[in-house]
Amino acid sequence: MNEKARKEIDALRETLRHHERLYYVLDQPEITDAEYDAMMRQLNELEAAHPELITPDSPTQRVGGKPREGFVKVAHSTQMLSLDNALNEEELREFLNRIGNVDYVTELKLDGLSMSARYQGGRFVQAVTRGDGLVGEEVTENARTIRTLPLSIPDPGELEVRGETIMNRRAFERLNAEREQQGLARFANPRNAAAGGLRALDPAVTASRRMDFYAYLLLSGGEPVHESHAESLVALEKLGFKVNPNRRLCNGMDEVIAFCAEWESRRESLPYEIDGVVIKVDSIAAQRQLGWTSKAPRWAIAYKYAARQASTIVENIGVQVGRTGALTPVAHLQPVAVGGVTVSRATLHNEDEIARLGVEIGDEVLVERSGDVIPRVVRVTRQGESRRPFHMPAHCPVCGSNVVREEDEAATRCVNTNCPARLKESVLHFAARLVMNIDGMGDALVDQLVDRGLVKSVSDVYDLTLEQLVDLERMGKKSAQNVLRNIDRSRQNPLPRVLVGLGIRFVGVRTAVLLAEAFGSLDVIANAEVETLQQAEEVGPKVAESIHEFFREPRNRELVERLREKGLKFDHPRKERKAGKFDGMTFVLTGTLASMTREQASERIQAAGGKVSGSVSKKTSYVVAGDEAGSKLDKARKLEVPVLDEKKFMDLLN
C-alpha cells in the first residue's frame, strides 16, 4: 500500500509543480483553479494518511511553518556585494570606457530585497537575506510561501540561487486596499511591503503579500556554474526559476546606452517597480580578472534613472473614490514633466496628509514619481498668494451616498457597496473562494461585465445569461456554462458567507460566523442598534458601528433586498455563547509585538471572550503596548487605563 501511495503522491506532486510553474512563472495556466484545488486536496488527503511520505519540497508545504521568535544569522558562501551606482549617462560611459568593448548583460534593476536560496539533492533547504553582504538572516519558512521559488529543481547537486524578492504593483495595491479595509496604515511603496513580508515572524504574513522571486545568479560552492552570465540566466530558466525576460546581451557601449534609454521610457508599462538598469560583464573569466573592491565588483554597475521630481502649481484638489470606497484627495496640477512623463495629477492620500503637508489650492509643490504607483506631493515649496483650503465632501462625489470617517482612522469612505467607483472590487470580493466561491469569476471576466454594463450591482451576477457570457472575450460556451453553474450553486451558501460577501468593513469570515450564530438572521443584524450588535462575541464598538453604518445606507438595503429575491440564505442556526476568561473585557493594541502579529493577538483575545477596540476610552480594560507604541499609549496613561507590556500580556493570555 505504501509503494502504491508513494507512486500516486509522486505523480500528483509532479503534476502540481508543472501547473504551478505554468501559472506563477510563465503566466500560462492550462487548468482552472477548481481543478488545481481538487488535486491539492487529493494530495493533502494522501499525505495525511501517509505522513511518513511527506517531504519538505511537497506543494502542500508552501505555508507550513509556525511563527518564530526571531531570525538566525547565516554567513553567505561568498559575499553578496552591493553595486556601485552610475547616476547619469556620463558616469555610465566612464565605467564602460574603463572596461572596454566587451559583451555586457543588461538587466532591469528591480526594486526589492536580495535573497539567496540553497538547494541540496534538488530540494530547497535554506533561504537567507542579503543582510550586510557577509551575514544575512535565515528566512527559509517565509521563502517557501513564494510561489515563484521552486521547492525542487531537476539538478541533484548543491546549488545556490541568488535573486530579488519583489511585490508587483497589482499585489501592492491589493495589499494596501486590504489594509485600508482593516483600518491599517498603507505601505509607502512595494519595496517596503516586500521587505516587511520577507522578514515577518509569521510565514502566513509572507504568503499574504503575494511576492515574486526573480533569479539572477547561479552558484555552486560559492562560484558561478557557467562561463558567462548570459548562460547562467538561461540555465536558471531551464531549472524552473522565474528570470526577467527584459534583458539583453549587448556588445559595447552604444548598445548598453540604447537599452538603458529604451527602458527609461518604458518603465511605467512594467507590472513592477524598477529604478534603473544593472550592467554586468558577461564573461566570468573577465569578471575574475577585473576583481572586486571592498564594497562592490569592478565588473558591474547599477545605472540609476534620474530622480523623478519637479515643482508645479496645485490648480485644484478633487476627490477620487477607490475600490474599497476610500475617498482619496487628488491634486490637480499645472502639467509638468517628471522623469520624461507629463504629470497633471498627484495623490494627497487623506485629510491628515494634507494637514501634515500644509498644502492648499494655489501652492507650489514638489511632485515625485518614485516608488509609489502614482505620483505624490512631497512638500510645499512656496505658498500661493491667493491660496484656499480643501474640505472633504460630506457625500460621495460618484454616487451621492453618505461618507464616514471612523475614529482613529485617516481614510474617509463611501458606505455604498454598489458605488460605481468600487463595484468591480465588490464583485470580485463577493465571488472570492472564501466568500460566495463563484469559481471562474476573476479579474478579466469582472472587468468585462462591469465595463459592458452587464453588472451594475453585485446582485446582477444572478441575472447573467449564457448568451451574455459567450459574447465576452475568451469565454467559450463550456466556460460560460461552468460560471453560470457556479453562480447558481452559490445560492446555497450559508448566511456567514453572504454577510462577508456584502463587504461590510471589519466583517471577515470569523466575525460573520459569530454574528450569524448570535442573531440567527440577516434581518435581525440589519435592524440591530450598535449596543445590541456588541452583544455578539468578539464584536467591539468599531465593528458594531461599521455594521450599523452599512445598513443605514438605503442603497445597501436595496442590495440586501435584491439578494433576497435571488434566493440567497438569510437565516442561520443560533448558538449559545460559551463563557471565556476575558468576558466583558475590552483590549486596545498599540505598537509592534515581537512574538506575534497584531491580528494574532486579536484572535487570542477574542478566543478567550474579550473584545478588541481601535480606540482607548474609560471603558477599556487593558491597553497592550508593544514597541513604538503611539498616541493610544499616551491616552491610556491620561485616562489611567491599565497598560500591559508584551510579557505581562503573554502571562495574562497563558
Residues noted as catalytic:
109
Query: What type of residue is 521?
Result: S
Chain centroid to Cα 85, Å, comes to 29
Q: Which residue has the cell 450591482?
A: 457
Do residues 576 and 551 make contact, with C-beta atoms less than 8 angstroms apart? no
C-alpha distances in Å from residue 334, one per residue of 384, 547, 572: 13, 41, 56
What does the H/E/C string look like for 355-404?
HHHCCCECCEEEEECCCCCCCEEEEEEECCCCCECCCCCCECCCCCCEEE
Do residues 126 and 176 make contact, with C-beta atoms less than 8 angstroms apart? no
C-alpha distances in Å from residue 370, one per residue of 172, 306, 489: 14, 10, 46
Query: What type of residue is 376?
Result: R
CA 328 to CA 320: how far, in whole Å? 5
Q: 7: Cβ–Cβ under 8 A, 6 or more apart, which residues?
A: none
CB neighbours (10 Å) of residue 634?
12
340: left (phi over 0), alpha (psi -120 to 50) or beta: left
Task: Please provide the DSSP assignment of 47-109 as one string.
Answer: HHH-GGG--TTSGGGTT-PPP-SS--EEE-SS------EE-SHHHHHHHHHHH-S-EEEEEEE
DSSP 375: -
CA 33 to CA 86: how far, in whole Å? 45
> Sign of the C-alpha dihedral, residues 559, 562, 564, 566?
negative
Torsion angle (degrees, nearest 10) of CA 338, 340, 344, 349 = -50
Q: Which set of grid coordinates corresponds to residue 422?
A: 468600487
Do residues 276 and 109 make contact, with C-beta atoms less than 8 angstroms apart? yes
| Angle subtended at Cα 544 by Cα 542 and Cα 545, rounded to the nearest 5 degrees | 65
